[in-house]
Structure 1
């Protein structure tokens, strides 16, 4: 452009403008509120109605919560302190929190379940977060035996002999692998079962007679509250995922026998209510065991919950496998990978990534389903709440106990939900 033409055009700048911040309406909280709450007349109307409902709920509940009594020995004493005004009697939580958390576990031994819970987080850390040293996975593998001994106590050699069963299974697999892979898998499953049924008990007794090491034994009927919910929930969650993966793979197998067994198992478990399986574990399972066999009720419940969750987990993972394009399977074949390497390196990681929301949803539902244990006389939190309300001191109290129990369940379930969102963001490979 010539100098003469530049002088005749008044709107052409000869200097650069300094950078400026975007308008406040296009950034931060103002932008979020505009886009999500007041983006149109329908959205605006729903937002205003929701605010009115929230205001009505808060205005009705907040005086009851703010006028709470935390120090009292009975419901009648709470009412005397309130003197006719509306207010919550959270003194029941202060008075019975130990029962809601530990059931009738001996108070002098509370340090054992607390230590088991702390070690649980240490064991889960390398599984849930990849930034930690992989050597910690060895402790994660040993934790079930450590946690069992801390909570139940008894002979130290019992979890040791149980752990030896897995070594027997690995040895059987190595010996049979030279003959046939399928026979090796069956041997790896059958050998530990035979070890636990016939050898673990006598060996435990023999070792304990030689070197009596262990902690004071706590009977299962003394364990209750959120402690039993954590034991059953975490155990079933940990066991159902690998079993669900195997069932999903078995359902897609070309081997007729394995596919039939997996289909029958999945469809039968999914077609039966959970409470039926729990009643079977509580009342009928002992009839199928040899006379004189002592099979702990909590262990029976863990097995049934694991079977129930694994059937649903198998369908969730099968959906992830079905969502993968056929090219992924062809790519694994083109690389010359065998079936298990293809599943481990290419197919299963992608299927699990797709299935994360469904997997976590199954975990959350299973953890909440531990409240059904009330129907088979296990002292989970709701059963203990009923027992507390049956006490003459607290007869007639309702909401305070249920609010406390619901808050604890919400904390655990919300934590699982947030972790699933973190995992989805971490594994996200596209840039949308």
Structure 2
């Protein structure tokens, strides 16, 4: 009798098995990126050793041996013969923290600065998040309404004989307030001005091109310290009698023009990377010059040079420390001026102050850098990182 074989037919998909531990997760990433070969393994251990040499003393100084509370320098001094070590004097930072944030802004008026900080954050964060609606209204509030409100909040407002907000002169501003005012103003104003200069340098009109080239090459050929000195000291000599500019305004003008020249070259690189066919296609559609630039060319060009634009922003943010040359105490200048206080004069006071400044600057610069990478990935520019 012939035997019959019975075949079982699977009607559902076989369960998917997880990937091996050695090829997925943290272990898989380490095998692929850190220990993929003998050479990479050696370099990984060398890198870990160097990181240990650098990070361990920093952690020891900033956290483990740090002094967190105290009323004066005595808290941050090591008793003779005790054999102990003292790390960062964070009590000094705590005592001077209001000056690091507001400078010499009147203590009873610092609420105005806090409102400006809060408004800036509340308007910037929704604008930076792509999924938040009402982007156009948000942009108008941030770029048009906020500067006016911030100006009157920080400087004061007097209507007739009525003092709505007491006047606070810019010479008493300082600390993070000055750093952010200069950086935000320079960043906001230099980008559109840089775009216009880049378009002017590529213009076919000889006068426009010549003026743009002269402007860009002049400002790129002069150090920022010289620009600040000229804008603060020399500019009033060229103004008519009776006309003066506030010192902060002169610095803002100098920083903006200086940064715009570099921004123009970054944008010009993006414009030159756009294929000629994009220009021809736009002209074939009957678009005018400004329509072509606004709708077709500039969106692509700016997307290509996001790293260069953010790099210029970061450089501008760090260069705000140079305003000390003209007598303005930004964050770093305010910290340096605090070193002269004998109440907190210790061997670690200077190290602590510079470490605090480094943390603040790194936080802002790293934030801009990471947001730049996020926008690159979202707009699919280059390889995803």
TM-score, length basis structure 1: 0.81
Question: Structure 1, residues 153-198: CA drift from partner, whole Å, max 9, x if none?
Answer: 133xxxxxxxxxxxxxxxxxxxxxxxxxxxxxxxxxxxxxxxxxxx
> What is the CA–CA distance in structure 1 between the aligned matches of 2:137 and 2:289, rounded to whole Å?
28
Matches within 5 A, 1:33-432: 33-64=30-61, 65-80=63-78, 84-87=83-86, 88-125=88-125, 127-130=127-130, 131-133=132-134, 134-140=136-142, 141-155=144-158, 208-209=159-160, 212=162, 214-396=164-346, 397-428=349-380
Give 5+ residue unaligned stretches, structure 1: 156-207
Q: Distance in 2 between the 1:431 and 1:283 partners?
A: 47
Q: Deviations over 1:61-103 (max 9, x none)?
A: 3333312112222223321579541122211001111111111
Q: Once the 2 structures are TM-superposed, how far is the Cα of residue 393 of structure 1 from its aligned partner?
A: 1.5
Residue pair 1:221, 1:378 contacting (<8 A) in 2 also = yes
Separation in structure 2 between the aligned mates of residue 430 and residue 289 of structure 1, nearest angstrom:
48
TM-superposed CA distance for 1:220, in Å, is 0.9
Worse-matched range after superposition: 18-27 or 400-409:
18-27
Q: What is the distance in 1 between the residues matched to 2:37 and 2:324?
A: 48
Distance 1:99 1:153 in 2: 20
Q: Distance in 2 between matches of 1:110 and 1:342?
A: 47
Q: C-alpha displacement at 1:346, in angstroms?
A: 0.3
Deviation at 1:394, TM superposition (A): 2.1
| C-alpha spacing 1:323/1:57, structure 2 compared with 1 (3 Å) | same
Q: How many residues align?
A: 373
Q: Distance in 2 between matches of 1:19 and 1:37?
A: 28
CA change 1:13–1:413 in 2 (3 A) is farther
RMSD, aligned α-carbons? 2.4
Structure 1 moving runs of 4+ over 4 Å? 12-17, 80-84, 429-432
Change (3 A) 1:220 1:17: closer
CA shift, 1:243, in A, is: 0.3
In the TM superposition, what is the alpha-carbon distance from 1:291 to its structure 2 partner? 1.4
- Output one character per residue of 1:113-133: Cα deviation in whole Å (capped at 9) or x when no partner: 111011112332454334331
Return the offset for 1:138. 3.0
Shift of 1:369: 0.2
Within 2, Cα distance between the matches of 1:422 and 1:17?
37
Structure 2 CA distance for partners of 1:150 and 1:329, relative to 1, 3 Å? same
Q: Give the secondary-structure state (helix, strand or coil) at the position aligned to 2:305.
A: helix
Contact map agreement 1:63 1:86 (CA 8 A) in 2:
no
Structure-2 residue corresponding to 1:167: none
Quick one: distance in 1 between partners of 2:68 and 2:126?
40
Contact (CA 8 Å) 1:126, 1:137: kept in 2 or not?
no
Q: Is the 8 A contact 2:194 2:261 kept in 1?
A: yes
Give distance in 2, aligned partners of 1:143 and 1:17: 59
In 2, the alpha carbon distance for the partners of 1:115 and 1:17 equals 60
From the superposition, tell whether residues 429 and 232 of structure 1 become closer, same or farther in structure 2 (CA, over 3 Å).
closer
Mapped to 2, the partners of 1:258 and 1:85 lie a distance apart of 68
> Which structure has greater helix proportion?
1
CA–CA distance in structure 2, aligned partners of residues 380 and 147 of structure 1: 18
Asked whether the equivalents of residues 67 and 75 of structure 2 are also in contact (C-alpha less than 8 Å), the reply is no
Shift of 1:28: 1.5
CA distance in 2, matches of 1:429, 1:74: 53
